[in-house]
Chain A
Amino acid sequence: MEIIAAVRVVVKSLLFVLLWSNGDGKDSEHSYVTCGSLVKLLNTRHDVRLHSHDVKYGSGSGQQSVTGVESADDANSYWQIRGKPKYPCQRGTAIKCGQSIRITHMKTGRNLHTHHFSSPLSNNQEVSAFGENGEGDDLDVWAVQCEGLHWERDEAVRFKHVGTDVFLSVTGEQYGHPIRGQREVHGMSSPNQHNWWRTMEGVFIQPSQEPLRHDEL
């Protein structure tokens, strides 16, 4: 076990050196959240991960519900970072602070979405998962608010909805059966301690080199 752990460190540092030396003058995107990556988002105040599932709201819009869960090993907490409709982002490029993105639920293919409906527990704005196969409508777009130039993996960021201007938030209200213990996720109009999120587990895509070009005569 010890040896394997040591070997892992050696190979990891080897690969890290490889990444740096392969930089080609470009910043290693190792620490940024990039277009196309699959991530789990943790609300830092309440320690729950953004989550969705095939359970619809019993009120409001009746669309697929979005909640916060405590577990760290549920594949239903994975979301893919994509460009806004008609403006695809290039795979592997770091997301800029202020950039508009869609956050698509991996398992159901629906986009993180909000609209003028009330949330069931706290009467804030309902946040749902909407669309089919990654295509929904203009209310699927969120802007990443962060410090600096690019969204860093271990940075706490806010998500501001483009359209209704609310921030993705959790304030702690819990659901009962059949999703006992899961927290309500909603939109709130003011930025505060409840709307900080950071990436945790995930598959982070690194930028690729351009495919070979043969400029013969």
Chain B
Amino acid sequence: MANKGMNLCRVCCLLLYVISAVLAGRDFYKILGVSKSASIRDIKKAYRKLALQLHPDRNPDDPKAQDKFADLGAAYEVLSDEEKRKQYDKYGEDGLKEGHHSSHNDIFSSFFGDFGFMFGGNRQQQDKNIPRGNDIVLDLEVTLEEVYSGNFVEVVRNKPIAKEAPGKRKCNCRQEMRTTQLGPGRFQMTQETVCDECPNVKLVNEERTLEVEIEQGVRDETEYPFIGEGEPHIDGEPGDLRFRIKVLKHPVFERRGDDLYTNVTISLVEALVGFEMDVIHLDGHKVHIVRDKITRPGARMWKKGEGLPNFDNINIRGSLIITFDVDFPQTQLDEQQKDGIRGLLKQDSVQKVYNGLQGY
């Protein structure tokens, strides 16, 4: 008897849990794969990565692809908006005021561009006969800090869009040879401009916001294309907008691939007796250095894992290579100090003469 009661209880509890889970709506944080305290940048980054993976065109065999993709869009729409996110955190999906059933396409195209979707961001060679508008290339300057930690750049694209207008216009104009008969057996060939008639278009300026990601470890000259965001073509397709990454020089660090190089000047005393210091890295964390031996000028220290993240696998990092140079005292020494130094160091006179420029 008691057993049956217990079972009934368990079943009821399970049922209640399932019902509440369903009623509570979708877990947007789980859909995006981010923690509840994720920053807006983490959310954008997660969306961008997942959108590429989950796009239905990329998963033609998955019957649930559309739903998963729609969930992703809904999750981003709510979590990327401060107000909506607050409401969602308090009341769940059902607590959101207005129905957020807007098309996912606009959010998607603000990250990747407008004109259909081609993977890898490259235009497929569909129809070479369709005329295309000009491409736009924008040199985007990024700092080494951004290469290290990643960042998002928001841009407002104001572009002309072809809209229908009343009337007709001439299009596809070309030169053709016309033969006219002047009389019996006499003909004349003339060149004529012949045009088709097309619906009239006018160019109207429209604006939209685009999101460019500066991915961690991105290399100089890498291009991020936004399909269809270039210049329009009245008789064809718009061109593309491409952001070309230009990494700026940094006052402290020099980049060589995934490695970072830096120089540290230490005093002569520190070079002889040792020292302890911190190097502040690109994201503010400290790299601790301890030396208790003599440090020669030009000596190099390798700090593995303190370089830049590798673009293809951000879990791999390059190294930080520190080269030391020594700052000699500015003031001259008096005789007493000179004797003291001779006594302390007990180093014999060296005075070796050699050709230093040819490696002797």
Binding site for B on A (CB under 8 A): 3-4, 7-8, 10-12, 14-15, 17-19, 21-22, 30, 36-38, 72-76, 78, 80, 88, 91-92, 106, 134, 200-206, 208-217
Query: CA of A134 to CA of B143 in the docked complex: distance in angstroms?
Result: 19
Please tell me if the beta carbons of B158 and A202 are within 8 angstroms of each other in the complex: yes
Please tell me if the beta carbons of A200 and B284 are within 8 angstroms of each other in the complex: no
Binding site for A on B (CB under 8 A): 39-41, 77, 80-83, 102-103, 105-107, 110, 133-143, 145-146, 148-160, 203, 205, 207-209, 230-234, 239, 241, 248, 282-286
Q: Give the chain A neighbours of B82 by CB distance below 8 A.
A: 18, 21-22
State how many angstroms separate the Cβ of B268 from the closest Cβ of chain A.
30
State how many angstroms separate the Cβ of B257 from the closest Cβ of chain A.
20
Please tell me if the beta carbons of B83 and A92 are within 8 angstroms of each other in the complex: no
Query: CA of A76 to CA of B323 in the docked complex: distance in angstroms?
Result: 46
Q: Which of B154, B158, B239 has the most CB of A within 10 A?
A: B154
Please tell me if the beta carbons of A21 and B106 are within 8 angstroms of each other in the complex: no
Q: Which A-chain residue is minimally distant from B164 (CB atoms)? A: A1
Q: Which B-chain residue is minimally distant from A11 (CB atoms)? A: B106
Q: Give the chain B neighbours of A217 by CB distance below 8 A.
A: 286
State how many angstroms separate the Cβ of A181 from the closest Cβ of chain B.
17
Please tell me if the beta carbons of A73 and B283 are within 8 angstroms of each other in the complex: no
Q: Give the chain B neighbours of A18 by CB distance below 8 A.
A: 80-82
Q: Which A-chain residue is minimally distant from B248 (CB atoms)? A: A88
Q: Known A7-B102, A10-B102, A106-B137; judge A73-B153 contact (CB<8 A).
A: no
Please tell me if the beta carbons of A216 and B285 are within 8 angstroms of each other in the complex: yes
Q: Known A73-B234, A214-B284, A216-B285; judge A204-B158 contact (CB<8 A).
A: yes
Question: 12 more A-B contacts (CB under 8 A) besides A30-B156, A204-B155?
Answer: A3-B103, A4-B105, A72-B203, A75-B230, A91-B140, A91-B153, A106-B137, A201-B160, A205-B140, A206-B155, A211-B145, A211-B148
Q: Known A18-B80, A75-B136; judge A211-B141 contact (CB<8 A).
A: no
CB contact between B135 and one of A75, A91, A210 (< 8 Å): that residue:
A75
Query: CA of A203 to CA of B243 in the docked complex: distance in angstroms?
Result: 10
Q: Give the chain B neighbours of A134 by CB distance below 8 A.
A: 139
Pairs across A and B, CB under 8 Å, 24 listed: A7-B103, A11-B110, A14-B81, A19-B154, A30-B156, A37-B155, A73-B133, A73-B234, A74-B231, A75-B136, A88-B248, A91-B142, A106-B137, A201-B158, A203-B138, A203-B156, A204-B158, A205-B155, A208-B151, A211-B146, A211-B148, A211-B149, A211-B150, A215-B284
- Do most interface residues of chain B lie in helix, strand or loop, or is the interface mixed? mixed
CB contact between B136 and one of A38, A88, A92 (< 8 Å): that residue:
A38
State how many angstroms separate the Cβ of B317 from the closest Cβ of chain A.
14
Please tell me if the beta carbons of B41 and A75 are within 8 angstroms of each other in the complex: no
Query: CA of A134 to CA of B134 in the docked complex: distance in angstroms?
Result: 21
State how many angstroms separate the Cβ of A173 from the closest Cβ of chain B.
26
Q: Give the chain B neighbours of A80 by CB distance below 8 A.
A: 138-139
Q: Give the chain A neighbours of B248 by CB distance below 8 A.
A: 88
State how many angstroms separate the Cβ of A91 from the closest Cβ of chain B.
5
Q: Which A-chain residue is minimally distant from B238 (CB atoms)? A: A73
CB contact between B138 and one of A38, A206, A215, A216 (< 8 Å): that residue:
A38
State how many angstroms separate the Cβ of B270 from the closest Cβ of chain A.
23
Query: CA of A92 to CA of B143 in the docked complex: distance in angstroms?
Result: 13
Query: CA of A153 to CA of B77 in the docked complex: distance in angstroms?
Result: 28
CB contact between B41 and one of A7, A14, A212 (< 8 Å): that residue:
A212
Please tell me if the beta carbons of A212 and B209 are within 8 angstroms of each other in the complex: no
State how many angstroms separate the Cβ of A63 from the closest Cβ of chain B.
22
Query: CA of A76 to CA of B231 in the docked complex: distance in angstroms?
Result: 10
Q: Known A73-B234, A203-B157; judge A209-B203 contact (CB<8 A).
A: no
Q: Give the chain A neighbours of B149 by CB distance below 8 A.
A: 211-212
Please tell me if the beta carbons of A200 and B205 are within 8 angstroms of each other in the complex: yes
Q: Known A73-B203, A204-B155; judge A212-B136 contact (CB<8 A).
A: no
Which 6 interchain pairs have the tightest Cβ spacing? Answer: A75-B134, A213-B284, A211-B149, A11-B106, A206-B154, A21-B82
State how many angstroms separate the Cβ of B221 from the closest Cβ of chain A.
13
Q: Known A36-B140, A73-B233, A74-B134; judge A211-B160 contact (CB<8 A).
A: no
